[in-house]
Amino acid sequence: QSALTQPPSASGSPGQSVTISCTGTSSDVGGYNYVSWYQQDPGKAPKLIIHEVSKRPSGVPTRFSGSKSGNTASLTVSGLQAEDEADYYCSSFAGSDNWVFGGGTKLTVL
Amino acid sequence: QVQLVDSGGGVVQPGGSLRLSCAASGFRFRKNNMHWVRQAPGKGLEWVALISSGGDRKYYADSVKGRLTISRDNSKNTLYLEMSSLKPDDTAVYYCVKDFNWAFEYWGQGALVTVSS
């Protein structure tokens, strides 16, 4: 059982927007602004796409955005493209130098 | 550019030991905290351990505490994970990861560890 809860799947058509949720507790997501998101293509290492809730690393397209409300963080992909089809994971610092991940969401571009 | 090259994976029997290495380049290794993160086949990601930039502070997931040991040699720009008393549940791809503001910024390509008799 994963510490953070994500929907196992999400989908959208090209050009649409899709939002993936990540629910934790006040001890992780709700307690710190250290939520991050990762994109993982099959057989590849994960890639950081959002850190500190809503910050995008250099080179990450602006169609990826992050937010947080209470114990739930969200990743929104706007203007879906075929290349966005991948697995997405959220993570949060959980205090006491411990990190937790979500179970992952498989995003399908229809 | 940042490069992390994981090595040392393989097949080991339950109760056995293995050492993973991660060669880092393209950034000031000695100035950065480093993690190990693992992923069991077909499963999600699990944080394993963190070591501070100077190597003086180490933190572990409860699932590996007492069995896995993270270390680093800043003179060689290399991160290590010593694994002992291995269990089948430790079977996973192990990634070396550079920390950035408590996020997992850059990842190695991963080293597969299979614990099986």
Per-residue pLDDT at A28 = 94
Answer whether A95's CB lies under 8 Å from A31's CB. Answer: yes
**On the CB side of A24, how many CA atoms lie within 13 Å of its CA?**
29
CA A75, A40, A90, B77: dihedral to nearest 10 degrees?
Answer: -130
The CA distance from A20 to A65, in Å, is: 11
**Secondary structure string (H, E, C) spanning chain A:** CCCEECCCEEEECCCCCEEEEEECCCCCCCCCCCEEEEEECCCCCCEEEEECCCECCCCCCCCEEEEEECCEEEEEECCCCHHHCEEEEEEEECCCCCEEEECCEEEEEC
- Which residue among A2, A45, A101 sits closest to B107, beta carbon to beta carbon? A45
For residue B45, the chain A residues in CB contact (below 8 A) are: 38, 46, 89, 91, 101, 104
Distance of residue B107 Cα from the nearest chain A Cα, in angstroms: 6
* Interface residue A66 vs chain B (CB under 8 A): no
The CA distance from A61 to A105, in Å, is: 19
Per-residue pLDDT at A16 = 97
pLDDT digit string, tens, across residues B25-53: 999 999 999 999 999 999 999 999 999 99
The residue-averaged pLDDT of B90-108 equals 97
Q: Give the total residue count for chain A.
A: 110
The CA distance from B15 to A104, in Å, is: 30
Q: Is B45–A52 a contact, with Cβ atoms under 8 angstroms apart?
A: no
Per-residue pLDDT at B86 = 97
- Which residue among A47, A98, A104 sits closest to B44, beta carbon to beta carbon? A104
Q: Please give chain A's pLDDT, 110 residues, in tens.
A: 458 999 999 999 999 999 999 999 999 999 999 999 999 999 999 999 999 999 999 999 999 999 999 999 999 999 999 999 999 999 999 987 899 999 999 999 99
What is the separation of C-alpha B29 from the centre of its chain, rounded to a whole number of angstroms? Answer: 15
Residue type for position A68: K
Q: Is A101–B109 a contact, with Cβ atoms under 8 angstroms apart?
A: no
The CA distance from B26 to B74, in Å, is: 14
Largest CA distance in chain B: 40
Q: Is A38–B45 a contact, with Cβ atoms under 8 angstroms apart?
A: yes
pLDDT digit string, tens, across residues B55-70: 999 999 999 999 999 9
For residue A47, the chain B residues in CB contact (below 8 A) are: 107
> For B38, which residue in chain A has the nearest alpha carbon?
A45
Strand partners, A64: A77
Q: Is A51–B103 a contact, with Cβ atoms under 8 angstroms apart?
A: yes
- Which pair of tokens denotes residue B75? 């003179």
Q: Is B101–A51 a contact, with Cβ atoms under 8 angstroms apart?
A: yes
Distance of residue B5 Cα from the nearest chain A Cα, in angstroms: 12
The count of CB pairs under 8 A between chains A and B is 60
pLDDT digit string, tens, across residues B66-84: 999 999 999 999 999 999 9
Answer whether B8's CB lies under 8 Å from B62's CB. Answer: no
pLDDT digit string, tens, across residues B1-34: 999 999 999 999 999 999 999 999 999 999 999 9
